[in-house]
Amino acid sequence: MGVSAMKHEKMKMVILAIMLWACLAIPSDYVWTADYPTRPIHYLIPYSAGGATDLACRAIADAASKVLGQPFVPINRGGAGGTLGAMNVMTAKPDGYTIGGCSTSNLSVAPFSDNNPYKDLKGFTQIMNFGNYVWVVMVRDDAPWKTWKEFIEWARKNPGEAKIGIAGAKSNSIHGICFWLIERKENVKFTYIPLKGTAGLMTTLLGGHTNLTASSVGTATVPYLKTRKIRILLYLAGSKLPGTEDVPTLEELYAFKVPNILGIFAPKGVSEPVLQKLDDAFAKGIKDPTFVKVMNQMHMPIMYMNRTEMTSYVASTTPKMGKLIKWLKEEDAK
């Protein structure tokens, strides 16, 4: 081999070595996710179709899909207060192609429920929060109690006669936990009627099978509020609706504030580049006019937290809920 050929061969080896070093220097997650997403993303909604949470989740997903250039495929996985959908998220492959909706129920309450399969949130990665619920305590408009104070005074004089409609078991429902706390603050005794879904809550209330119920303001409640068939006595969380500014809140009366979460999470282990793309897409989606319109129609306040803020919020509020639920269970056992 001539000198010139040898120099040429050495130069090729040097170039190959540089290229190999460059490849090794690039983080592996970047190599595999630089083009993310290249296909549709499965979006698990942990509640039944047609409700306020479902519509809000679909609206933010549609907005983010415009930024990412790939559609989100909504898959409803309702049941057990959102925990069935959460389990599907937690056990999914952490490649960014399966994410899910999260709420106060499956983040702040579920880990402390006796039969829930996950006892902490280590299996999840928080992506963002995009809204808040407006939780109201309602009676029929023809009910004898015009204020929350009047209802409590009646309940105190008539132990156990106050029939409270809640979604699910008392200790598994954020509304049930709030009523549980009120019982102890006000020295009253409620009878709980566990039901399925907001539609069931409204049916039993309007039919006179319950005296009072709590629910989020949304598709199943707004029509009755507009036609004045129901009346709000108390806000558990969220902003007040126009014309109800004099209605008290749980925090105003009892100095207690419940976590209010409506967001998106993913399984643990999703790579940083993918999380950054999702974070950016949802941050931009919050400003989408169609998303804003949907949220306004359902009276759901837009409350954005990026993944750092969301992670911090969940980490600070969840342990407090755990302590409260533990105390309430101990009180009930006495």
**Per-residue pLDDT tens digits for 224-261:** 999 999 999 999 999 999 999 999 999 999 999 999 99
Is residue 170 predicted with pLDDT exceeding 60? yes
DSSP codes, 215-248: EESSTTTHHHHHTTSEEEEEEEESPPPTT-TTS-
Interatomic CA distance for residues 320 and 184, integer angstroms: 18
Whole-structure pTM value: 0.86
Question: How much is the average pLDDT of 280-305?
Answer: 96
Portion of the chain with pLDDT greater than 90, in percent:
76
- Higher-confidence residue of 33 and 157: namely 157
Region 192-216: mean pLDDT is 91
Mean pLDDT of 23-27: 47
Confidence of residue 33 (pLDDT cuts 50, 70, 90): low
The answer, yes or no, to whether residue 303 has pLDDT greater than 70, is yes
Q: What is the β-pairing status of strands 230-237 and 135-140? A: antiparallel
**Predicted local confidence at residue 132, as pLDDT:** 96
Structural domains present in the chain: 38-132+260-333 (3.40.190.150), 135-254 (3.40.190.10)
DSSP codes joined into one string, 109-146? IGGGSTT-S-SSSTTEEEEEEEE---EEEEEETTSS--
Cα 151 from Cα 145, distance rounded (Å): 5
What local confidence, expressed as pLDDT, does residue 26 receive? 42
> For residue 30, what pLDDT is reported?
41
pLDDT in tens, 91-108: 999 999 999 999 999 999
**β-sheet with 124-131: strand ranges across:** 72-76, 41-45, 98-103, 262-267, 124-131, 302-305
| Average pLDDT score over residue span 42-59 | 93
Task: Say yes or no to pLDDT of 19 above 60.
Answer: no
Average pLDDT, the chain: 90
Give the confidence band of 80 by pLDDT, cuts at 50, 70, 90. Answer: confident
Question: Which residue type sits at 154?
Answer: W
pLDDT at residue 118 greater than cutoff 60:
yes
Helices (H) and strands (E) in the chain, counts: 13, 11
Q: Residue 271: which residues within 8 A CB-CB, separation 6 or more? A: 29, 32, 33, 94, 96
**pLDDT value for 10:** 61
129: its two tokens? 């929060």
Give the pLDDT band (50/70/90) at residue 6.
low
Contacts of the segment 233-236: beta carbons below 8 A, 24+ positions apart: 233/137, 233/138, 233/139, 233/145, 233/147, 233/148, 233/151, 234/136, 234/137, 234/148, 235/134, 235/135, 235/136, 235/137, 236/135, 236/136, 236/137, 236/174, 236/175, 236/178
